[in-house]
Amino acid sequence: MTISEVSEKYGLPPDTLRYYEKVGLIPPVTRKESGVRDYSEQDCGWVEFIKCMRGAGLSIETLIRYVALYRKGNRTLKQRKQLLIDEREKLQERIEQMQQVLKRLNYKIDLYEDRIVSCEKKLLS
């Protein structure tokens, strides 16, 4: 797949894909004779993984560390697992915070709803 196709498929700008390759988040992408990147299924798997992890809030630095550990092979399994456990805990904390924010927003919206109903009753009386 070309960079344009991968960009469209995953909703990431080509510059982001180039950056991910440059910093080592995805392995160097094979190029055609013309120099155009030719993304393999494995490359796309990395793009999908990185996009998912970024969406979950993992930093570029954390992902660079994870990928570096991955490239060292099975001897880093425990380290990779612990890194993911740590990130899961951070994500869980953020989810709990977001739940509290959502609860407060719902409360505020309900207050406005009560005011609107009250105003409408006054207008109709």
State pLDDT tens for residues 116-125: 888 888 888 7
Q: Using one digit for the tens of pLDDT, what is the confidence trace for 3-47?
A: 999 999 999 999 999 999 999 999 899 999 999 999 999 999 999
Q: Read off the CATH number of the domain in which 17 is found.
A: 1.10.1660.10
What is the distance between the alpha carbons of residues 114 and 64, in angstroms, rounded to a whole number? 50
Residue 61 counted as domain residue: yes
SS3 category, 31: strand
What is the distance between the alpha carbons of residues 79 and 70, in angstroms, rounded to a whole number? 9
Residue 77 counted as domain residue: no
The reported pTM is 0.79
Number of domains in the chain: 1
Containing domain of residue 15, as a range?
3-71
